[in-house]
């Protein structure tokens, strides 16, 4: 049966979609969308970009905390049944799915735990993060990986279930959308030296 929540959710889903800029080139383009997400209860830092067709549990959005300088690409779903936090300078590619809710396999009773994504984490296309888990700072989750346990900082994880395939070799400065650079040991912005700017990747998914 249609109730007040049905109309509310339908309304906000439309607004969130309309508030998503096409071909954004700056975090400023996401100001209105971020305002909407905050209005719905999420904690959203400065300079956050959440792409098109973002799916979430609207009525539980207060469980979602996104730190500053976080880039979430299109078609990402975050089902936050318990607290989900995403650290600064983390980048999430398209078609990733996150959840921290499950059911007891014996009683089927629903339960949820905390899902923590550290700072400077890169999560590749179509990865699935099934919490509660903690992903350490600067970890890299390969495209298509399914993470079901904690990931130590700086590890590269791939496969299903995701296994460590190496350590991420970190440069002194790391690129971040739209053309920012940060220090991966302090997670602070670095002035972009003249002439070293890299163009935005084209046809980003
Ligand atoms: C994980 C990743 C970063 C590895 O890149 P790389 O360091 O250049 O690694 P290589 O291609 O040399 O592969 C190293 C090993 O990891 C394996 N591997 C690489 N990517 C993998 C993946 N997604 N899943 C499973 N195994 C993978 C390779 O088969 C190879 O194994 P081998 O040593 O047994 O031959 C890359 O494959 C990836 O997944 N990138 C994300 C791409 C993406 O999501 N783009 C979205 C647009 S922003």
pLDDT tens for each residue of 109-130 = 999 999 999 999 999 999 999 9
CATH level 2 (architecture), domain 4-192: 3 Solenoid (2.160)
What pLDDT does residue 55 have? 97
Would you state the pLDDT for residue 43? 97
What is the signed CA dihedral for 165, 102, 33, 183, rounded to 10 degrees?
Answer: -30
Please state, in angstroms and rounded to a whole number, the distance separating the CA atoms of residues 192 and 189.
Answer: 9
Residue of 97, 143, 156, 171 to mutate, ligand 1, most atoms within 8 A of C-beta = 143
Euclidean distance between the first and the last CA atom of the chain, given in angstroms as a whole number: 37
How do the residues of the chain divide into helix, strand and coil, expressed in percent and rounded to 5?
A: 15, 30, 50
Atom 18, ligand 1: which residue's CA is nearest? 158
pLDDT of 160 higher than 50? yes
147 lines ligand 1 (CB under 6 A): no
Nearest alpha carbon to residue 124 among 173, 73, 168, 164: 73
Structure tokens at 144: 């298509």
Average pLDDT over residues 146-168: 98
The Cβ of residue 203 has, within 10 Å, a number of other Cβ atoms equal to 4
pLDDT of 105 over the 70 cut: yes
Nearest CA, atom 15, ligand 1: 165
* Mean pLDDT taken over the chain: 92
The arithmetic mean of pLDDT across residues 184-204, rounded, is 64
pLDDT tens for 149-158 read 999 999 999 9
128 - beta bridge partners? 97, 146
For atom 8 of ligand 1, the residue with the nearest CA is 142
Q: What is the Cβ-side half-sphere exposure of residue 90, based on CA atoms within 13 angstroms? A: 27
With 50 as the cut, is the pLDDT of residue 196 above it?
no
Q: How many CB atoms lie within 10 A of CB 60?
A: 18
How far apart are alpha carbons 144 and 185 in whole angstroms?
A: 27
Residue 205 Cβ < 6 Å to ligand 1: yes
Give the Cα separation of 173 and 70 in Å (integer). Answer: 16
């Amino acid at each position: 049966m249609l109730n007040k929540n049905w109309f509310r959710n339908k309304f906000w889903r439309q607004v969130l979609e309309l508030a998503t800029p096409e071909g954004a080139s700056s975090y400023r383009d996401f100001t209105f969308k971020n305002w909407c997400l905050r209005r719905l209860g999420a904690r959203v830092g400065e300079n956050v970009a959440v792409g098109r067709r973002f799916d979430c549990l609207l009525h539980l959005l207060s469980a979602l905390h996104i730190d500053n300088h976080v880039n979430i690409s299109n078609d990402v779903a975050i089902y936050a049944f318990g607290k989900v936090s995403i650290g600064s300078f983390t980048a999430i590619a398209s078609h990733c799915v996150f959840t921290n809710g499950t059911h007891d396999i014996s009683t089927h009773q629903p339960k949820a735990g905390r899902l923590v994504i550290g700072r400077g984490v890169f999560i590749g296309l179509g990865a699935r993060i099934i919490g509660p888990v903690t992903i350490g700072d600067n970890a890299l989750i390969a495209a298509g990986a399914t993470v079901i346990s904690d990931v130590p900082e700086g590890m590269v994880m791939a496969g299903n279930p995701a296994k460590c395939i190496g350590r991420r070799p970190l440069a002194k400065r790391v690129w971040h959308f739209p053309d920012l650079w940060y220090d991966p040991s302090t997670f602070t912005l670095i002035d972009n030296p003249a002439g070293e700017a890299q163009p935005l990747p084209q046809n980003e998914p």
